Structure 1
């Protein structure tokens, strides 16, 4: 149990002293960038899904006829 407590204690100390935290302005800017790219990726995925759904529906209708 002492090893676990020591590990957690050292982890918090490393986070306080060795990690370079971004400024609030950087966090806001990067959050907006991630949100925009997430929306763009979701739209691209939706578009590809719709395209292939129509292609497959057309293919199966062609086979059925």
Structure 2
């Protein structure tokens, strides 16, 4: 039990004093970048899906 208690204590100490947390503005900038990247990726995948669906529908309607 003592090992578990020491592990938890050491983990808390490391999270408080040794981890460098980003500033709020850095966090906002990173979040905006992830949001923009996700939207661009979704648009690209949506366009590819539309293109493949249109192409396959046209192909199957030929028969």
For this structure pair, what is the TM-score category when the shorter chain's length is used for normalisation? Answer: 0.7 to 0.9
Distance in 2 (CA, whole Å) between partners of 1:43 and 1:28 is 23
Cα distance change, pair 4–60 in 1 and its aligned pair in 2 (3 A): farther
> Hey, what does 1:31 align to over in structure 2?
31
Structure 1 residue 2, shift from structure 2 partner: 4.6
Question: For 1:1-40, what aligned pairs fall within 5 Å after superposition?
Answer: 1-40=1-40
Q: Give 5+ residue unaligned stretches, structure 1.
A: none
Deviations 1:21-47 (A, max 9, x none): 111110111111111111111111111
Q: Give 5+ residue unaligned stretches, structure 2.
A: none
SS of residue matched to 1:20? coil
